[in-house]
Amino acid sequence: MQWNLEQIRLFVSVAEGQSFSAVARQMKRVQSAVSSSIAMLEADLGVLLFERSSGRQPRLTEEGAVLLEEAREVLRQCQRLEGRALGLVRGEELRLRLAQDEAMPYQPVLDSLEALSQAYPLIEVQLASGAQGEVARKLLERRADLGLLFHHEQMPDTLERQRLGTVEMVTVCGAGHPLAGLKRVDRRELARHRQLLMALQDSRYPGGEQISPAVWRADSFYAMAELLIRNLGWAWLPRHVVQYPTYQNHLVELSSDWTPPPLVVELVWRRDETLGPAARWLADRFAEHLRAIG
Protein backbone atom coordinates (compact mmCIF):
# COMPACT_ATOMS: atom_id res chain seq x y z
CA MET A 1 0.00 0.00 0.00
CA GLN A 2 1.27 3.45 -0.97
CA TRP A 3 -1.01 5.68 1.10
CA ASN A 4 0.58 8.45 3.16
CA LEU A 5 -0.15 10.54 6.24
CA GLU A 6 -1.32 13.50 4.19
CA GLN A 7 -4.06 11.35 2.70
CA ILE A 8 -5.05 10.13 6.15
CA ARG A 9 -5.30 13.73 7.38
CA LEU A 10 -7.49 14.64 4.42
CA PHE A 11 -9.73 11.61 5.00
CA VAL A 12 -10.29 12.57 8.64
CA SER A 13 -10.80 16.23 7.79
CA VAL A 14 -13.38 15.49 5.10
CA ALA A 15 -15.16 12.99 7.36
CA GLU A 16 -15.36 15.53 10.15
CA GLY A 17 -16.12 18.51 7.89
CA GLN A 18 -18.46 16.68 5.50
CA SER A 19 -17.22 18.76 2.59
CA PHE A 20 -14.40 18.44 0.04
CA SER A 21 -14.63 22.15 -0.72
CA ALA A 22 -14.40 23.22 2.93
CA VAL A 23 -11.30 21.07 3.47
CA ALA A 24 -9.78 22.40 0.26
CA ARG A 25 -10.26 25.99 1.45
CA GLN A 26 -8.80 25.15 4.85
CA MET A 27 -5.79 23.45 3.27
CA LYS A 28 -5.50 26.19 0.61
CA ARG A 29 -5.87 23.68 -2.20
CA VAL A 30 -8.19 23.24 -5.09
CA GLN A 31 -11.11 20.90 -4.49
CA SER A 32 -10.02 18.55 -7.25
CA ALA A 33 -6.69 17.92 -5.48
CA VAL A 34 -8.49 16.92 -2.28
CA SER A 35 -10.90 14.65 -4.18
CA SER A 36 -8.01 13.07 -6.06
CA SER A 37 -6.07 12.36 -2.83
CA ILE A 38 -9.10 10.69 -1.26
CA ALA A 39 -9.67 8.63 -4.42
CA MET A 40 -6.06 7.41 -4.39
CA LEU A 41 -6.40 6.51 -0.69
CA GLU A 42 -9.52 4.49 -1.49
CA ALA A 43 -7.64 2.73 -4.28
CA ASP A 44 -4.72 1.91 -2.00
CA LEU A 45 -7.00 0.62 0.78
CA GLY A 46 -9.29 -1.22 -1.62
CA VAL A 47 -12.48 0.18 -0.08
CA LEU A 48 -14.84 3.05 -0.83
CA LEU A 49 -14.69 5.56 2.00
CA PHE A 50 -17.37 8.04 0.88
CA GLU A 51 -20.65 7.87 -1.00
CA ARG A 52 -20.66 10.56 -3.65
CA SER A 53 -23.90 11.86 -5.15
CA SER A 54 -24.30 14.89 -7.39
CA GLY A 55 -25.23 17.95 -5.36
CA ARG A 56 -24.77 16.22 -2.03
CA GLN A 57 -21.98 16.35 0.52
CA PRO A 58 -19.87 13.18 0.79
CA ARG A 59 -21.16 10.68 3.34
CA LEU A 60 -19.10 7.93 4.95
CA THR A 61 -19.73 4.40 3.78
CA GLU A 62 -19.95 1.62 6.35
CA GLU A 63 -16.33 0.75 5.59
CA GLY A 64 -15.34 4.40 5.86
CA ALA A 65 -17.00 4.72 9.28
CA VAL A 66 -15.06 1.67 10.50
CA LEU A 67 -11.73 2.99 9.20
CA LEU A 68 -12.28 6.54 10.45
CA GLU A 69 -11.34 5.75 14.05
CA GLU A 70 -8.32 3.77 12.85
CA ALA A 71 -7.23 6.80 10.83
CA ARG A 72 -7.67 9.05 13.85
CA GLU A 73 -5.51 6.69 15.89
CA VAL A 74 -2.79 6.83 13.23
CA LEU A 75 -2.75 10.63 13.56
CA ARG A 76 -2.75 10.42 17.37
CA GLN A 77 0.20 8.05 17.21
CA CYS A 78 2.03 10.51 14.98
CA GLN A 79 1.44 13.21 17.59
CA ARG A 80 2.82 10.89 20.28
CA LEU A 81 5.89 10.22 18.15
CA GLU A 82 6.50 13.92 17.59
CA GLY A 83 5.93 14.67 21.28
CA ARG A 84 8.30 11.94 22.39
CA ALA A 85 10.98 13.14 19.95
CA LEU A 86 10.59 16.72 21.19
CA GLY A 87 10.91 15.48 24.76
CA LEU A 88 14.14 13.68 23.92
CA VAL A 89 15.52 16.85 22.37
CA ARG A 90 14.68 18.67 25.61
CA GLY A 91 16.34 15.95 27.69
CA GLU A 92 13.11 14.54 29.17
CA GLU A 93 13.11 11.02 30.61
CA LEU A 94 11.46 8.16 28.75
CA ARG A 95 10.81 6.38 32.03
CA LEU A 96 10.81 7.32 35.70
CA ARG A 97 11.19 4.56 38.29
CA LEU A 98 10.06 5.87 41.66
CA ALA A 99 10.66 3.92 44.87
CA GLN A 100 9.02 5.12 48.09
CA ASP A 101 8.94 4.16 51.73
CA GLU A 102 5.64 2.37 52.20
CA ALA A 103 4.78 4.74 55.08
CA MET A 104 5.13 7.83 52.90
CA PRO A 105 1.94 9.97 53.05
CA TYR A 106 -0.02 8.54 50.15
CA GLN A 107 -2.11 11.62 49.28
CA PRO A 108 0.86 13.85 48.31
CA VAL A 109 2.32 10.99 46.28
CA LEU A 110 -0.93 10.36 44.39
CA ASP A 111 -1.60 14.07 43.84
CA SER A 112 1.93 14.58 42.55
CA LEU A 113 1.75 11.62 40.16
CA GLU A 114 -1.62 12.80 38.86
CA ALA A 115 -0.09 16.21 38.11
CA LEU A 116 2.92 14.52 36.49
CA SER A 117 0.63 12.61 34.11
CA GLN A 118 -0.69 15.95 32.84
CA ALA A 119 2.64 17.77 32.63
CA TYR A 120 4.50 14.80 31.10
CA PRO A 121 1.80 12.64 29.48
CA LEU A 122 4.23 10.47 27.52
CA ILE A 123 6.54 9.44 30.37
CA GLU A 124 6.35 5.88 31.68
CA VAL A 125 6.16 5.66 35.48
CA GLN A 126 7.04 2.63 37.57
CA LEU A 127 6.09 2.95 41.25
CA ALA A 128 7.47 0.62 43.91
CA SER A 129 6.93 0.66 47.68
CA GLY A 130 9.09 -0.97 50.30
CA ALA A 131 9.90 -1.13 53.97
CA GLN A 132 12.85 0.50 55.70
CA GLY A 133 16.08 0.25 53.70
CA GLU A 134 14.49 -1.15 50.55
CA VAL A 135 14.25 2.23 48.83
CA ALA A 136 17.97 2.98 49.21
CA ARG A 137 18.79 -0.57 48.13
CA LYS A 138 16.80 -0.17 44.91
CA LEU A 139 18.68 3.04 44.13
CA LEU A 140 22.07 1.48 44.83
CA GLU A 141 21.23 -1.49 42.61
CA ARG A 142 19.95 0.85 39.88
CA ARG A 143 16.47 -0.62 40.10
CA ALA A 144 15.04 2.86 40.79
CA ASP A 145 15.85 6.33 39.52
CA LEU A 146 14.30 8.33 42.32
CA GLY A 147 13.49 7.60 45.96
CA LEU A 148 11.18 9.08 48.56
CA LEU A 149 12.17 8.10 52.07
CA PHE A 150 12.55 9.29 55.64
CA HIS A 151 15.93 10.67 56.62
CA HIS A 152 18.21 8.57 58.80
CA GLU A 153 21.90 8.84 59.54
CA GLN A 154 23.01 5.64 57.86
CA MET A 155 22.32 6.82 54.30
CA PRO A 156 24.93 5.50 51.82
CA ASP A 157 27.46 8.11 50.70
CA THR A 158 26.79 7.41 47.02
CA LEU A 159 23.27 8.88 47.27
CA GLU A 160 22.35 12.53 46.97
CA ARG A 161 19.57 13.88 49.18
CA GLN A 162 17.17 16.79 49.00
CA ARG A 163 14.91 17.73 51.90
CA LEU A 164 11.27 18.06 50.84
CA GLY A 165 9.42 18.52 54.12
CA THR A 166 8.50 16.86 57.40
CA VAL A 167 5.92 14.46 58.82
CA GLU A 168 4.70 14.80 62.41
CA MET A 169 5.29 11.96 64.88
CA VAL A 170 2.87 11.08 67.69
CA THR A 171 2.89 8.72 70.69
CA VAL A 172 0.21 6.03 70.33
CA CYS A 173 -1.06 2.74 71.72
CA GLY A 174 -4.02 0.46 71.09
CA ALA A 175 -7.49 1.42 72.30
CA GLY A 176 -7.44 -1.47 74.79
CA HIS A 177 -3.92 -0.85 76.11
CA PRO A 178 -3.50 0.19 79.80
CA LEU A 179 -1.92 3.51 78.69
CA ALA A 180 -5.01 4.44 76.66
CA GLY A 181 -6.97 5.44 79.76
CA LEU A 182 -4.36 7.88 81.09
CA LYS A 183 -4.73 11.61 80.48
CA ARG A 184 -0.98 12.09 80.31
CA VAL A 185 2.01 9.78 80.35
CA ASP A 186 5.63 10.50 81.23
CA ARG A 187 8.78 8.60 80.33
CA ARG A 188 8.66 6.58 83.55
CA GLU A 189 5.13 5.39 82.77
CA LEU A 190 6.05 4.56 79.18
CA ALA A 191 9.04 2.54 80.43
CA ARG A 192 6.70 0.18 82.26
CA HIS A 193 5.22 -1.07 79.00
CA ARG A 194 6.58 -2.76 75.90
CA GLN A 195 7.88 -0.33 73.28
CA LEU A 196 7.69 -0.93 69.53
CA LEU A 197 10.62 0.46 67.54
CA MET A 198 11.81 0.46 63.96
CA ALA A 199 14.35 -2.23 63.09
CA LEU A 200 17.26 -2.39 63.17
CA GLN A 201 18.91 -0.74 66.13
CA ASP A 202 21.26 1.28 63.90
CA SER A 203 18.46 2.72 61.75
CA ARG A 204 18.66 6.04 63.64
CA TYR A 205 15.24 7.23 62.63
CA PRO A 206 13.83 10.08 64.74
CA GLY A 207 12.00 8.33 67.50
CA GLY A 208 14.47 5.47 67.65
CA GLU A 209 15.32 6.09 71.30
CA GLN A 210 14.68 3.08 73.51
CA ILE A 211 12.83 4.00 76.71
CA SER A 212 11.41 0.69 77.82
CA PRO A 213 13.55 -2.37 78.71
CA ALA A 214 11.01 -4.50 76.81
CA VAL A 215 11.24 -3.83 73.05
CA TRP A 216 9.81 -5.34 69.88
CA ARG A 217 11.07 -4.20 66.48
CA ALA A 218 9.59 -4.09 63.00
CA ASP A 219 10.77 -2.72 59.64
CA SER A 220 7.44 -1.06 58.82
CA PHE A 221 5.35 1.63 60.51
CA TYR A 222 2.25 -0.16 59.26
CA ALA A 223 3.43 -3.44 60.76
CA MET A 224 3.93 -1.59 64.04
CA ALA A 225 0.40 -0.19 63.81
CA GLU A 226 -0.99 -3.72 63.36
CA LEU A 227 0.82 -4.80 66.53
CA LEU A 228 -0.44 -1.73 68.39
CA ILE A 229 -4.11 -2.39 67.65
CA ARG A 230 -3.58 -5.77 69.33
CA ASN A 231 -2.40 -3.90 72.42
CA LEU A 232 1.10 -5.31 72.23
CA GLY A 233 2.83 -2.09 73.23
CA TRP A 234 3.16 1.61 72.49
CA ALA A 235 5.13 3.41 69.79
CA TRP A 236 5.93 6.63 68.01
CA LEU A 237 4.27 6.68 64.59
CA PRO A 238 3.78 9.25 61.82
CA ARG A 239 0.45 10.97 62.33
CA HIS A 240 -0.83 10.09 58.85
CA VAL A 241 -0.29 6.38 59.61
CA VAL A 242 -2.34 6.72 62.81
CA GLN A 243 -5.08 8.47 60.82
CA TYR A 244 -5.23 5.75 58.18
CA PRO A 245 -8.91 4.67 57.90
CA THR A 246 -8.13 1.08 58.88
CA TYR A 247 -6.74 2.20 62.24
CA GLN A 248 -9.35 4.78 63.18
CA ASN A 249 -10.97 3.98 66.57
CA HIS A 250 -8.29 1.33 67.14
CA LEU A 251 -5.33 3.58 67.99
CA VAL A 252 -5.18 6.23 70.73
CA GLU A 253 -2.87 9.22 70.61
CA LEU A 254 -1.21 9.74 74.00
CA SER A 255 -0.38 13.06 75.61
CA SER A 256 3.25 12.63 76.55
CA ASP A 257 6.02 14.70 78.07
CA TRP A 258 8.24 13.98 75.04
CA THR A 259 7.57 13.27 71.38
CA PRO A 260 10.25 12.70 68.73
CA PRO A 261 11.06 15.43 66.22
CA PRO A 262 9.24 15.16 62.88
CA LEU A 263 10.40 12.69 60.27
CA VAL A 264 12.26 14.47 57.49
CA VAL A 265 11.10 13.44 54.02
CA GLU A 266 13.88 13.35 51.46
CA LEU A 267 14.18 12.94 47.74
CA VAL A 268 17.13 10.62 47.04
CA TRP A 269 19.00 9.66 43.87
CA ARG A 270 22.38 8.31 42.84
CA ARG A 271 25.16 10.89 42.78
CA ASP A 272 26.47 9.56 39.46
CA GLU A 273 23.11 10.04 37.72
CA THR A 274 21.62 13.45 36.97
CA LEU A 275 17.95 14.05 37.63
CA GLY A 276 15.91 14.75 34.51
CA PRO A 277 13.31 17.52 34.21
CA ALA A 278 10.36 15.23 35.00
CA ALA A 279 12.03 13.98 38.18
CA ARG A 280 12.83 17.52 39.32
CA TRP A 281 9.30 18.65 38.49
CA LEU A 282 7.84 15.73 40.48
CA ALA A 283 10.01 16.59 43.48
CA ASP A 284 8.71 20.18 43.49
CA ARG A 285 5.08 19.01 43.29
CA PHE A 286 5.54 16.51 46.11
CA ALA A 287 7.09 19.18 48.34
CA GLU A 288 4.09 21.42 47.66
CA HIS A 289 1.55 18.70 48.47
CA LEU A 290 3.52 17.64 51.54
CA ARG A 291 3.39 21.19 52.90
CA ALA A 292 -0.36 21.26 52.24
CA ILE A 293 -1.04 18.36 54.61
CA GLY A 294 1.38 19.72 57.23
Q: Using one digit for the tens of pLDDT, what is the confidence trace for 270-289?
A: 887 778 888 889 989 998 98
Give which of 6, 12, 64, 58 is closest to 37, Cα–Cα: 6
The residue-averaged pLDDT of 164-182 equals 94
Beta-carbon count within 10 A of 92 CB:
19
Give which of 256, 262, 132, 264 is closest to 195, Cα–Cα: 256
* Residue 74: per-residue pLDDT: 86
The CATH number of the structural domain formed by 5-89 is: 1.10.10.10
Distance CA 7, CA 119 (A): 31
DSSP annotation of 291 reads: H
* Residue 206: per-residue pLDDT: 57
* Residue 85: per-residue pLDDT: 66
Does the pLDDT at position 201 exceed 50? Answer: no
Domain range annotation of the chain: 5-89, 95-166+264-293, 169-260
- In what order do the strands lie in the sheet containing 95-101? 124-130, 95-101, 146-150, 263-270, 159-167
Does the pLDDT at position 164 exceed 50? Answer: yes
* Residue 78: per-residue pLDDT: 81
Q: Look up the CATH superfamily of 169-260.
A: Periplasmic binding protein-like II (3.40.190.10)
Band of the pLDDT at 185, cuts 50, 70, 90? very high
The kind and range of the H/E element at 169 are strand 169-174
pLDDT tens for residues 37-82?
A: 888 888 888 889 888 775 567 788 888 888 988 888 888 888 767 6
169-260 shares the fold of 95-166+264-293: yes
Distance CA 263, CA 221 (A): 12
The CATH fold assigned to 95-166+264-293 is D-Maltodextrin-Binding Protein; domain 2 (3.40.190)
Share of the chain above pLDDT 90, in %: 32
